[in-house]
């Protein structure tokens, strides 16, 4: 494994542990991913062009400003690119 990949994996695992490693919506501990609480334009337009290490550093930055959480892939897909408040209202049936 490439040195940067090992570093990225360690940093990713540490961030999951820091954030709790549990989906904030359903409570599962499998198939987890990071999710921005308030999405930004960088993630949408440049995320696919980032290396794995750059992505992990990007999420660590968002953790430092309180803007990242953990979701499983199915919950993250349901949230899509909505801000958390909008998503929470949708889950409760408050937005049509």
Nearest to 37 by CA among 73, 76, 90: 76
In a domain, 96, yes or no: no
pLDDT (tens digit, 9 = 90+) per residue, 27-80? 999 999 998 888 776 655 566 788 889 999 999 999 999 999 999 999 988 877
Q: Residue 23 is part of which domain span?
A: 3-91
**In the prediction, which pLDDT does 49 show?**
83
In a domain, 50, yes or no: yes
| Overall number of domains in the chain | 1
Contact by Cβ (8 Å): 4, 53: yes
In a domain, 7, yes or no: yes
pTM above 0.85, yes or no: no
d(C-alpha 38, C-alpha 49), whole Å: 20
């Amino acid at each position: 494994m490439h040195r940067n990949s090992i570093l990225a994996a360690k940093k990713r695992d540490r961030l999951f542990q820091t954030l709790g490693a549990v989906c904030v919506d359903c409570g599962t501990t499998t198939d987890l991913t990071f999710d921005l609480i308030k999405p930004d334009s960088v993630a949408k337009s440049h995320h696919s062009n980032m290396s794995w290490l750059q992505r992990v550093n990007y999420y660590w930055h968002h953790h430092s400003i309180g803007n990242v959480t953990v979701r499983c892939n199915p919950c993250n897909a349901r949230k899509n690119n909505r801000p958390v408040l909008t998503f929470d209202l949708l889950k409760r049936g408050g937005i049509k």
